[in-house]
């Protein structure tokens, strides 16, 4: 019976497999993707198969921590396997050993140092790896005789066959920890991009790219196997301009062609793709909140291009589509505009027949990190602020009140009246943008209440404005 067992090293798995034998010899299914993935092995996408043959017992190799995942099995003979976790993190230095024969294999995740000692003459073992070997690949190493790991080698190292290089490897205290696979954040100069930088920080394996750095419609060649996650926060969001000839082309390039290119890269390299979607993929006619399975019915070019991008992203096996609405962050946005109008004594007319929830970028970034950290099932998740839905007019009135102004200065109007006589094309807006949050809440994420988040956001904006005013006064 095929079984997969966990070990003390996270991600290092032992596979017990049936070996069928008779007078002619034996046969086994060394790698059978469908059965092994169903049993619990990761679908790691091997691209290279290598064989190591060792004529003498005691041949010992390692410890080598490689920049790819590896599936190790025995073709003939027996080996003693030892593994030391050399990845950054709390499990660094954890040791696991086990004997392997044709009926047992081990899945070794990237960054775990592996070593093998042959126990019988003419032993062969097979590696399946999910990246092509390269002389430029970055390894980490550990000395086979390291006192901290203290591996009990069946054949003492003094009697074993070792290479000079393996004998010269460093002790654990001097070993170079293996950093996680890289995280690439696209659209790093936008409102969400800045919040993601705040959420993920500046660790060495986090890479931030602006539109100038990285064109998602024509991604430059990279060694993509070094990346574990791409977060696509790049988007074309000028919904009215998208209705023009030039805007239509730009919207489709950035919102549809770009995600399709990223999905192709993610699928080919085992990368998790996080993509930001929009309430505009719906027509807003639903009676209640939209769940993740609601059918698309976009009204305008922006919504159509976002829906096409969503569909493209679903072709990546490892994907999170994070659907949101009414985003507010560090940059020009509705809340800042209303606060500015209030301070300048302007009494605005604001739409009151569009309903939804604000989503603050800090919450959105926190939710994205949550999905990744808890290994939530891949798929689509709605992620907006929590609490009762509001209209744009009621939000504007709340902004006026929270900034010390009379909320009655805000006049509610219909969408049709607001845009009557407008110059240039106006994109149709969904009247209902309320998204059901129960799916992401089931993963343990609770969104901030939009009213409380609005208070905190405005407090920060007021402080920032006063600091800027003091700084400006000092320069005059």
H or E element, residue 39 = helix 33-39
95-128 burial: b if 16+ Cβ within 10 Å, else e: bbbeebbbebbbbbbbbbbbbbbbbeeebebbbb
Label the pairing between strands 70-76 and 104-108: antiparallel
Alpha helices in 275-409 (DSSP H): 301-313, 334-343, 361-373, 392-402
pLDDT surpasses 50 at 473: no
How much is the pLDDT for 452? 94
- In this structure, what are the phi and psi dihedrals at residue 207, rounded to the nearest 5 degrees? -120, 130
Quote the CA–CA distance of 476 and 470 in Å, as a whole number: 10
**pLDDT band at residue 475 using 50, 70 and 90 as cut-offs:** very low
Quote the CA–CA distance of 277 and 297 in Å, as a whole number: 14
pLDDT, tens only, 235-279: 999 999 999 999 999 999 999 999 999 999 999 999 999 999 999
Quote the CA–CA distance of 457 and 249 in Å, as a whole number: 35
User: When comparing pLDDT for 473 and 132, which is higher?
Assistant: 132
pLDDT, tens only, 374-385: 999 999 999 999
How much is the pLDDT for 421? 81
Q: Which of the residues 127, 282, 290, 457 is marked catalytic?
A: 127
Report which listed range, 262-266, 464-468, 470-474, is most confident. Answer: 262-266
How much is the pLDDT for 472? 42
pLDDT surpasses 70 at 461: no
Instruction: Look up tokens 């005691």; give the residue.
Output: 58
The number of CA neighbours under 13 Å toward the Cβ of 314 is: 11
The Cα angle at residue 475 between residues 473 and 476, in degrees rounded to 5: 70
pLDDT surpasses 80 at 17: yes
Inter-residue contact 82 to 115 (CB < 8 Å): yes
**What is the SS3 assignment for 273?**
strand
Domains within the chain, CATH numbers bracketed: 3-174 (2.60.120.10), 182-474 (3.40.50.720)
pLDDT surpasses 80 at 347: yes
Contacts of 332 (CB under 8 A, 6+ apart): none
How much is the pLDDT for 470? 39
Quote the CA–CA distance of 117 and 222 in Å, as a whole number: 36
Contacts of 421 (CB under 8 A, 6+ apart): none
How much is the pLDDT for 138? 86
Mean of all residue pLDDT scores within the chain: 93
Both tokens of 166, joined, read: 């393996």
**Calculated CA dihedral for residues 312, 318, 323, 327, nearest 10 degrees:** -100
pLDDT surpasses 50 at 168: yes
Quote the CA–CA distance of 160 and 118 in Å, as a whole number: 9
Quickly count: other Cβ atoms within 10 Å of residue 373's Cβ: 9
Find residue 6's DSSP bridge partners: 13
Q: Which of the residues 64, 169, 370, 405 is marked catalytic?
A: 64
pLDDT surpasses 70 at 391: yes
Quote the CA–CA distance of 378 and 320 in Å, as a whole number: 6
Mean pLDDT (whole number) for 302-325 = 98
Active site residue 71: no
Q: Pick from 108, 69, 96, 81: which is nearest to 7 by CA?
A: 96
Active site residue 132: no
pLDDT, tens only, 88-105: 999 999 999 999 999 999
- Report pTM: 0.88
CA 169 → CA 57, 140, 166, 195, distances in Å?
22, 9, 6, 41
**pLDDT band at residue 136 using 50, 70 and 90 as cut-offs:** confident
Mean pLDDT (whole number) for 434-450 = 97
Alpha helices in 253-331 (DSSP H): 258-269, 301-313
Quote the CA–CA distance of 79 and 116 in Å, as a whole number: 6
């Amino acid at each position: 019976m095929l079984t997969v067992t966990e070990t003390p090293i996270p991600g290092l798995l032992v596979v017990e497999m049936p070996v069928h034998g008779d007078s002619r010899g034996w046969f086994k299914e060394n790698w059978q993707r469908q059965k092994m993935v169903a049993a619990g092995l990761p679908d790691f996408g091997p691209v290279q198969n290598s064989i190591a043959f060792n004529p003498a017992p005691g041949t010992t190799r390692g410890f080598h921590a490689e920049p790819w995942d590896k599936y190790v099995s025995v073709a003939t003979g027996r080996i003693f396997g030892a593994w030391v976790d050399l990845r950054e993190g709390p499990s660094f230095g954890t040791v696991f050993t086990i004997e392997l024969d044709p009926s047992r294999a081990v899945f070794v995740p990237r960054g775990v140092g592996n070593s093998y000692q042959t126990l019988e003459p003419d032993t062969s073992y097979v590696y399946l790896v999910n990246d092509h070997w390269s002389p430029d690949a970055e390894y980490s190493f550990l000395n086979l005789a390291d006192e901290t790991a203290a591996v009990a080698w069946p054949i003492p190292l003094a009697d074993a066959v070792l290479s000079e290089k393996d004998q010269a490897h460093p002790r654990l205290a001097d070993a170079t920890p293996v950093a996680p696979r890289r995280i690439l954040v696209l659209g790093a100069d936008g409102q969400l991009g800045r919040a993601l930088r705040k959420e993920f920080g500046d660790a060495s394996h986090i890479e931030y790219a602006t539109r100038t750095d990285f064109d998602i419609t024509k991604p430059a060649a990279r060694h993509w196997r070094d990346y574990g996650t791409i977060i696509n926060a790049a988007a074309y969001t000028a919904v009215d301009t998208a209705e023009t000839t030039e805007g239509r082309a730009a919207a489709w390039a950035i919102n549809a062609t770009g995600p399709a290119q990223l999905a192709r890269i993610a699928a080919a390299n085992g990368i998790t793709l996080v993509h930001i979607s929009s309430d505009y993929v719906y027509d807003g006619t639903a009676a209640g909140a939209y769940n993740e399975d609601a059918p698309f019915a976009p009204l305008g070019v922006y919504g159509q291009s976002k829906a096409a991008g969503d569909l493209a992203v679903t072709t990546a096996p490892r994907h999170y589509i994070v659907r949101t609405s009414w985003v507010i962050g560090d940059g020009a946005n509705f809340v800042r505009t209303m606060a500015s109008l209030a301070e300048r004594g302007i009494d605005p007319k604001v739409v009151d027949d569009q309903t939804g929830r604000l989503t603050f970028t800090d919450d959105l970034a926190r939710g994205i990190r949550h999905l990744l950290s808890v290994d939530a099932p891949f798929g689509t998740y709605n992620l907006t602020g929590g609490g009762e839905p509001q209209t744009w007019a009621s939000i504007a009135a709340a902004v006026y009140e929270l900034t010390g102004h009379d909320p009655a200065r805000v006049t509610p109007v219909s969408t049709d009246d607001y845009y009557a006589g407008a110059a240039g094309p106006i994109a149709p807006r969904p009247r209902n943008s309320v998204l059901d949050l129960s799916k992401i809440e089931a993963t343990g994420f609770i969104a901030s209440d939009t009213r409380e988040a609005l208070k905190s956001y405005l407090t920060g904006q007021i402080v920032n404005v006063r600091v800027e005013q003091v700084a400006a006064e000092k320069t005059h």
